[in-house]
Amino acid sequence: MRHIVKDVLNLSNWLKIYNNPSKFIRVFNDRINYYPGLKFGYTKSKIIKKLYMSFNIFFAKKNKNFKEFFFDTGNDEKKVAANFSLNKDYHINEIQFQYLKQNGILVLENALPEHEQNKIAEEFDKFKSNINNDDLNEYRDKNLSVFKNENIDKYMYTVNSVLNSESKLKKINDQITKKIYGITVNPSLSYGFHKLIDLPESVINGDNNWHADRYLPNLKILYFPYGVEEGGAPFRYSLGSHKINKESLNFFLNKKIGSGTIEGNEEKAKFLKNTHEFIVPPNTLVATLPNGFHGRTPFKKKSERCALYLMYKEFRLWSLISYWNCNHN
């Protein structure tokens, strides 16, 4: 927060805004108008953290869709893991949405037509080929991220292009975002590739351990063009852990800045009551509410994993506050 105030008082920054207003909009969205995460303005004060959380939760509850999916605890049936198959018109039915509401995850097999699956697979084949040839220059302006340790190589790049209006992926995206946010939201697309180098795989926080991304309602969609087999780092989720209540909010309140990681047996017993690993065939889409506890499992054998991530940075702080736009739709 302190560095934002210093930037506002710096006269040279106002001159930059005058000369390049579009850059100001980008910086404003990235530094002030972003959807709240777990940094809380880097404050160490629990009082200020609680004020942050109370403010944002107040507006989250005003969004009718958020209230239904994340705050409604009326249905307390036993959570059961299940996979569904999409029908030929790529319509997600109410039974499937109710499953997502209750469990925090929805697995849809046969998700895309063959030509769309092949196009995404071709992108991954090209990405892997460029990685093997150490030729990643074309991804430098696509937020390329590279992580390596003695056990694993991890690569990801992101594109912000609008989904093809005729694609079935857009049809699925629009159905799910409208149901969760109350409005359709265009995603960023991140191509993620993991390659195991040696066993056992070490812990990577926010990746292969149990964690939550936010304390607020949130959505992430993963698409697996090649599927994920047993031992190949399948996605896992603690069913029903996306429900926001006093217990979950206290978890984040007591964590250090930026952490949503499960630590110790007490937290495991409290939040990991009904967990499941989702081994999926090729052409499977997983819609997940990642304020619930999740992560990929560590690799159990030498393998590779490709996942296309749909994430929703366009739903910002102002989107949360202006809940009437979501409720109106």
Task: Provide the H-helix boundaries in the chain.
Answer: 2-9, 11-19, 21-31, 46-62, 64-66, 94-103, 114-132, 168-181, 246-253, 264-271, 317-321, 323-328
5 has pLDDT over 50: no
* pLDDT for residue 206 is more than 50: yes
First to last CA, the chain: 34
Question: What percent of the chain shows pLDDT beyond 90?
Answer: 76
Superfamily (CATH H level) for 54-328 = q2cbj1_9rhob like domain (2.60.120.620)
Q: What is the pLDDT of residue 86?
A: 85
Q: Could you read off the pLDDT of 187-202 as tens digits, one per residue?
A: 999 999 999 999 999 9
Question: What confidence category does residue 40 fall into, taking pLDDT thresholds of 50, 70 and 90?
Answer: confident
Q: Which helix (H) or strand (E) holds 220?
A: strand 220-224
H helix and E strand count, the chain:
12, 11
pLDDT recorded at residue 77: 64
**Considering the entire predicted model, what is its pTM?**
0.91
Round to whole Å and give the CA distance between 133 and 301.
Answer: 24
- Write the CB contacts of 88 (distance below 8 Å, at least 6 apart in sequence): none
Task: In whole angstroms, give the CA distance from residue 279 to residue 228.
Answer: 6
Residue ranges per structural domain of the chain: 1-32, 54-328
Q: Which of 27-41, 63-77, 97-111 has the lowest mean pLDDT?
A: 27-41
CA distance 120 to 283: 10
pLDDT reported for residue 8: 46
pLDDT digits (tens, 9 = 90+) for 155-164: 999 998 788 9
Cβ contacts of residue 90 below 8 Å, gap of 6+?
Answer: 168, 171, 172
| Low-confidence winner among 5-14, 131-140, 145-154, 204-213 (lowest mean pLDDT) | 5-14
In this prediction, residue 312 has a pLDDT band, given cuts at 50, 70 and 90, of very high
> Which of 4-18, 239-253, 302-316 has the lowest average pLDDT?
4-18
Alpha-carbon distance 307 to 102, whole Å? 24
Q: Which residues pair with 188 in a beta bridge?
A: 311
Higher-confidence residue of 29 and 304: namely 304
- Check residue 10 and give its pLDDT: 56
